[in-house]
Amino acid sequence: MITGSIVALATPMKVDGSIDWQALRRLVGFHLDNGTDAIVAAGTTGEPTTMSFAEHFDVIRTVVEEVDGRIPVIAGTGANATSEAVELARYAKDVGADYCLSVCPYYNKPTQEGLYQHFKAVAEGADMPVILYNVPGRTCSDLYNETVFRLAELENIVGLKDATGNLERAEELVDRLKGSDFMLYSGDDATACDFMLMGGHGDISVTANVAPRSMHELCKAAVAGDNETAHQINTRLMPLHTNLGIEANPIPVKWALNRMGYVDTGIRLPMTWLSEKYHSTVGEALQMAGVIDD
């Protein structure tokens, strides 16, 4: 079981939009040096929906190679075509990823039975541990708790990333799945501290891209039930949690990583570079978190 801070890794790109493989390897090293507990490669923060299959595969493979078994790698393998999601998951297994993260199909708006059958097919076809990913604000597809409980009974479905930000739903998940091996992760940095304090196992985090050490310490404290320490760190990071969503992810976090000197200014359309009016807001959040000096 993975516990702690799991970075939803941004994919570095050059000005022309091509993937910056050298910068990607440097970013992995940055996380290995700063306590990140696991890495999601080519998750939604990594812009896989604008990548070719070959690029998507190569990002996963590169991260697996660079990590070299030191921490778990979770491959983003979601797709709105079930067959494509299965193919991506099979590739992730072949190159040595430890888990796959499969997002609810976007745009299609399937029923709960359709979601159940989709993830059942992924679990059976992938032959590797699958973490479900529910982010209805991005997909227009909401995986209800009752469907999660059904899926949790299936072999190979081992966890959930819940990015709803709804702590009442999270509390029900924790209560119903307590005592099982099913892993529950927040996918919403602003509410992740409370999610973990009520029994969640970690946070699949955007903030961890820029503040990996602090997110590791926050998650460590929260998972251990250290309310005071967790909230103290979380208060310092809250401006990042909030303002890394000031425009659609990963726009602000790529700007922040560029401000820190880790990535170039590459991002792929239809995403655009962070609006100038938000530069000072995100910069101040980085300062408040102790990530940059000025």
Q: 131, 161 in Cβ contact below 8 A?
A: yes
* Catalytic position from the list 161, 185, 220, 262: 161
Is the Cβ–Cβ distance between 200 and 225 less than 8 Å?
A: no
204 annotated as belonging to a binding site for a ligand: yes
The Cα 146–Cα 143 span in angstroms is 8
Using alpha carbons only, how large is the chain's radius of gyration in Å?
18
* Catalytic one of 99, 116, 133, 185: 133
Q: Does 281 belong to an annotated binding site?
A: no
Residue 68: what are its φ and ψ, rounded to 5°? 55, 45
Tokens of 250: 């990963």
Integer angstrom CA distances of residue 205 from 39, 202, 216: 10, 9, 10
Q: What is the DSSP string of 75-129?
A: EE---SSHHHHHHHHHHHHHTT-SEEEEEPPSSS---HHHHHHHHHHHHHHH-S-
| Residue found under tokens 């359309």 | 269
Residue 161 annotated in active site: yes
* CB-CB neighbours of 273 under 10 Å: 14
- Asked if 13 contacts 250 with a C-beta cutoff of 8 angstroms, the reply is no
Phi, psi of 220 (to 5 degrees): -60, -45
Of the candidates 51, 43, 48, the one whose C-alpha atom is nearest the C-alpha of residue 76 is 43
Residues in Cβ contact with 243 at an 8 Å cutoff, skipping those fewer than 6 apart: 252, 278, 281, 282, 285
Annotated binding-site residue numbers for pyruvate: 45, 204
Binding residues, by number, are 45, 204
Catalytic residue numbers? 133, 161
